[in-house]
Structure 1
Amino acid sequence: MIRTINKIVIAGIVMMAVSCKKDLAEINKNPNATENPQPDYLLTASQKISADLYWGADNNFNSTLLIIQHWAKIQYTEPDRYIFSNSSFTSLWNTAYAQSITNLNTIIQLPDERANVNYKNVAVILRSWVFSLLTDAYGDIPYKQAGDIKNNLTPAYDTQKDVYFGLLEELKNASAGLTTTGNAILGDVIYGGKIDRWKKFANALRLRIALRIADREPEKAKQTITEVLSDAGGLISANTETAQFVYTTSPQQNPVSAWFDTRDEFRIGKTLLDKLTAVNDPRIPVFANKPTDASVTTYVGVPSGLTNSDANNLGLAKTSRPGSYFFDPKSPAVIISYAEVLFDRAEAAARGFTTEDASALYKAAITASLNQYGINDVNTVNTYLGQSGVQYDAVNYKKSIGEQKWIALYGQGLEAFAEWRRLDYPQLTPAAAGVLDKKIPVRLIYPGSEQGLNGTNYKTAVANQGADNLLTKLWFDKN
């Protein structure tokens, strides 16, 4: 009798668990979502959501742009001093999983008669980029089981190595699956439906990820880069092919523009401005504005991580805001630039992965970055390249490429943060009033909600990669 009762109780518990899981899945449905989603609408929404996530305040100019000292704060300086809580980085995690990845998975899972092969492969490429942002920032993340709440309410975390390897395979297959004959797609803000550009974007992402793992898995990195350079789809080969989301006017404007419409606490970082000034960089007027106080005739950067009182004493009108280019409503969110691809090829050559000319590619990368911002005069470009502080150093390629790539990635906080950790250049001085014992953050911490909602898998991830704090190096960050 007792055994029978126990069986009934256990059966009831199982039924309750299944019911709860079903209820949670139903609760997490968007009540405003259409029952018959259209791939073009989903594609536009996914691109906009992901671009805002990448370019917006929480993950860019109020965190990573401060950490890598492109920008600094003149007011409310706590983030500039590395004062973050376990809710500071929830935006990247929650929005990426609940919106970006979920929408893209919906496209991938649509029947063929509603979403052709190009829609699905473009969605895979975009999803791979979003997953790369997540693992670059947090390390181990839900990957294989992510975005499927009906079957995996508490998804397991995959190791960073497994995520990168998985993304390389997904991108390779997605690029190969794209077809430039027929199968048109709509709703594509990034490339306007040009499938040949998506092939190049996929290969550029493969190149980026290959170098991300190069210090840990050099043979895999070399193999991938060899495949990419021989792929018929090619790589981004001009500024006109840069992967970027182009905004329009309010309310669909660039998130930096929306922020500066009502707030004014960011300034160009003194670290960056000093570097630009030392080499007479022609991008200074693009990256910064002169102070509004007419008595101040030069650009004035703000040191990183000042206390509120010390920062306020510098004066709002006597310091330089970031350049107007970046808070123009239509300024694009750059995902991968032509300049970055050239820097990556230069590094691959410097590592001995290819037989290309590292020095020539390095110069071409800097030139592409200057051209990206409208600096096209040949004499100006050559004068800049000819300076001793700019010339390529083959003995220390990480320093040359690291410093110039750091400049070229201005505004792309998440990517610049990843590359600074990987290349270890430029060598930054910690925030003046930082709270991490004169150290700089080397990762983002997991959202606090993970400890409650996915506690077992969260604990496994922490046990695998180390304490969940800002100073725990991730797998790719070897040195």
Structure 2
Amino acid sequence: MKKKLITYSSLLTMGLFLATGCTKNFDKLNTDPTAFSASNFDPNYLLTTAQLNYTGSQDFSYDTWRADLIYCSDMIQGTATSIGYWAGDKYLSNPDYLAAYWQSDGGGDGAYAEQVKPIVDMVTTTTGVAKYNNLHQIGRIMKALIFERITDLYGDVPYSQAGDGYYGKILFPVYDKQQAIYTSLISELQDATSKLDPNGDIPTGDAIYGGNIGKWQRFGNSLLLRVAMRLSKVDPATAKTVVQSVVGKTMTGNSDDAFLIHDPTGGRPTVNRVSQVLQGGPENQYVKWSERFIDILQGKVKRTDPIDPVPDPRLAVISVTNYTIGTTTPAGDATPADQKGQPNGYDLSGTPGLTLGSAPGFTTLGDYSCPSTYLTQLGSPTIILTYGETELLLADAAERFGIGGSAASHYTNGVTAAMTYLTEYDPKALVTPAQAATYLAAHPYVAGETGLNMINTQYWELTNTMMDFYESWCNWRRTSSKANPLGYPNLTPVVYPGNATNGTIPRRFPYPTVEAANNPTNYTAAHNAVPGGDTMTGLVWWDVQ
């Protein structure tokens, strides 16, 4: 499908309307017919722009590079690296990098400029326009998707007034409480999804589903499920009620997976930014799968344990050792038993005990496993939300709340989908249903806390293979509490000198300090209200301990 783009600066002319005077047809006679306006501009362009920007396609990789990779991927122990500026698994504070998703420096403009502005414009200009009903509702769903990530990273954030500087003349938006944001996300998703009309307009700017309204209905309900389950610690009653409302309405198979396909030549504006980062600079040699990730896929509790006789079949597809990302030769070694993850928390400083060469079991850098070429091709899709995630969340709800069917059945569906969806990256990235069934037979579901561990460990494995480390970190925080501080899966924190978290896995991103100058009153109120302080150890509302 042809992708349509328009820069935000060109949209500013949309509101240039002349005031009505006494002369009949004054507006018609005195309005430039070539200028953009709400009546002659196709808002489908804005949907495409918001979708591309959500996947990081136009931001020169700063949001993706710094937030998803440098921080989330390492601190959630999906990956590990010894590159000095990758601070995630050392729990070091780099204010510019932590602010990048909100408002970047030196490159992309962050989510508020690149995602919020176009989607708010689209929702605003299509409100009440019958011919754009489905486009409008999809815009509302996309807006919820965008804001869920922003608030999950930072907590209380501008929401109700965000992106309204042009239409509402609001230049200093308030920071809405996260509880209020989540209440609105639930309401918006419920209403927007219910108003999608399979017999209505087909959005031409939809780069995800190509305007398939049935898939958007299932996506909206699946996103609503994820939003609801985020509240399982802080507001289980609401979580349970909302989950019950979407049972039977969520994704039904891998064919419903939401992903955006990128340009295999690496050209802008549709390049896969994760792949671009991993193929550039030192990342192609130094970014590895973490020891914890590989150990779990091999069925080991710790590195020195023997490999399970039936390891996770994804290993042969997503991991390769003796390989440099982005190259074709040598092809590397994808044998599951040969995979070896890099321990988190080591650098290249040469300091005894800190440098990678002093890590237990270190031989050479090349022996550590890295993401395979299937996951790191420039044309690899960005996976947004999957049937596998949905089924694992339903399994969690069934085990936790006793609703929505059998936890074991949802678990089986979720694990099978999480293994077989990989062909969305490349048809050769094949894990068959039979391989998944063999794995499940060797590792049957066990109810209770063990079951919750199994479900959410599989969710972590899936979102790591999706390269959606934002979601991996969010769900781990959801399953971590005072009673279970290591979360699911159990992750052992890194103790690195000078870390900013007292040796604990970070819980949120601090607010960008530039907000103190740009929006001082509202920033100060939000900064002072963060439970535990506006630091990497503060808590967002749903992450109660």
TM-score by length of 2: 0.77
CA 1:406–1:320 in structure 2 vs 1: closer, same or farther (change >3 Å)? same
Match of 1:224? 242
Whether 1:30 aligns to 2:2 is no
Whether 1:130 aligns to 2:146 is yes
Post-superposition offset of 1:392: 3.0
CA contact (8 A) 1:72 1:303 kept: yes
Gaps of at least 5 residues in structure 1 are: 1-27
CA 1:319–1:51 in structure 2 vs 1: closer, same or farther (change >3 Å)? same
Match of 1:12? none
User: How far apart, CA to CA, are the structure 2 residues paired with 1:275 and 1:283?
Assistant: 11
1:311 is aligned, of 352, 356, 379, to 356
| One-letter identity of the residue aligned with 2:344 | S
CA contact (8 A) 1:50 1:100 kept: yes
- Report which structure shows greater RCO (CA 8 Å, sep ≥6): 1
1:281 is aligned, of 302, 308, 312, to 312
User: How far apart, CA to CA, are the structure 1 residues paired with 2:279 and 2:398?
Assistant: 44
Which SS does the other structure have where 2:529 is aligned?
A: helix
Map 1:345-356 → 2, pairs under 5 A: 345-356=394-405
Map 1:148-227 → 2, pairs under 5 A: 148-150=164-166, 151-227=169-245
2:291 is aligned, of 270, 277, 287, to 270
Question: 1:354-390 deviations in whole A, cap 9, x for unaligned?
Answer: 15001111111101111112555344222211334x6
| One-letter identity of the residue aligned with 1:425 | Y
Post-superposition offset of 1:147: 0.9
Match of 1:402? 456
Indicate the percent of aligned positions where both proteins have the same amino acid: 27
User: How far apart, CA to CA, are the structure 2 residues paired with 1:194 and 1:430?
Assistant: 43
| One-letter identity of the residue aligned with 1:270 | E
Post-superposition offset of 1:118: 1.1
User: How far apart, CA to CA, are the structure 1 residues paired with 2:370 and 2:207?
Assistant: 29
CA 1:462–1:60 in structure 2 vs 1: closer, same or farther (change >3 Å)? same
Match of 1:63? 71
Post-superposition offset of 1:353: 4.8
CA contact (8 A) 1:203 1:235 kept: yes
CA contact (8 A) 1:406 1:426 kept: yes
Post-superposition offset of 1:99: 2.0
CA 1:465–1:286 in structure 2 vs 1: closer, same or farther (change >3 Å)? same
Which SS does the other structure have where 1:302 is aligned?
A: coil
Which SS does the other structure have where 1:351 is aligned?
A: helix
Post-superposition offset of 1:66: 0.7
CA contact (8 A) 1:236 1:338 kept: yes
CA 1:362–1:193 in structure 2 vs 1: closer, same or farther (change >3 Å)? same
User: How far apart, CA to CA, are the structure 2 residues paired with 1:269 and 1:438?
Assistant: 18
User: How far apart, CA to CA, are the structure 1 residues paired with 2:404 and 2:134?
Assistant: 33
Match of 1:465? 530
| One-letter identity of the residue aligned with 2:528 | A
Post-superposition offset of 1:398: 2.5
CA contact (8 A) 2:134 2:200 kept: no
| One-letter identity of the residue aligned with 1:117 | N
Post-superposition offset of 1:405: 1.0
2:502 is aligned, of 414, 433, 437, to 437
Task: Report the more deviating stretch, 400-409 or 130-139.
Answer: 400-409
Which SS does the other structure have where 1:334 is aligned?
A: strand
Whether 1:102 aligns to 2:117 is yes
Post-superposition offset of 1:206: 0.7
Whether 1:324 aligns to 2:373 is yes
The number of equivalent residue pairs is 448
Post-superposition offset of 1:432: 4.8
Q: Alpha carbon RMSD of aligned pairs, Å?
A: 2.4
Post-superposition offset of 1:396: 3.5
User: How far apart, CA to CA, are the structure 1 residues paired with 2:225 and 2:130?
Assistant: 32
User: How far apart, CA to CA, are the structure 1 residues paired with 2:120 and 2:203?
Assistant: 16
1:417 is aligned, of 450, 460, 473, to 473
User: How far apart, CA to CA, are the structure 2 residues paired with 1:107 and 1:67?
Assistant: 35
Gaps of at least 5 residues in structure 2 are: 1-6, 15-35, 104-109, 300-307, 325-329, 350-354, 424-429, 480-486
Post-superposition offset of 1:75: 2.3
More helix by share: 1
1:72 is aligned, of 52, 66, 80, to 80
User: How far apart, CA to CA, are the structure 1 residues paired with 2:290 and 2:131?
Assistant: 45
Post-superposition offset of 1:292: 3.4
User: How far apart, CA to CA, are the structure 1 residues paired with 2:92 and 2:431?
Assistant: 41
Question: 1:126-163 deviations in whole A, cap 9, x for unaligned?
Answer: 01001000111111111111111142211111111111
Question: 1:403-448 deviations in whole A, cap 9, x for unaligned?
Answer: 1111111121100000000112111111252613221101111111
Question: 1:78-105 deviations in whole A, cap 9, x for unaligned?
Answer: 3431222222122311322112111011
| One-letter identity of the residue aligned with 2:91 | Y
User: How far apart, CA to CA, are the structure 2 residues paired with 1:286 and 1:59?
Assistant: 26
CA contact (8 A) 1:303 1:432 kept: no
Which SS does the other structure have where 2:384 is aligned?
A: strand
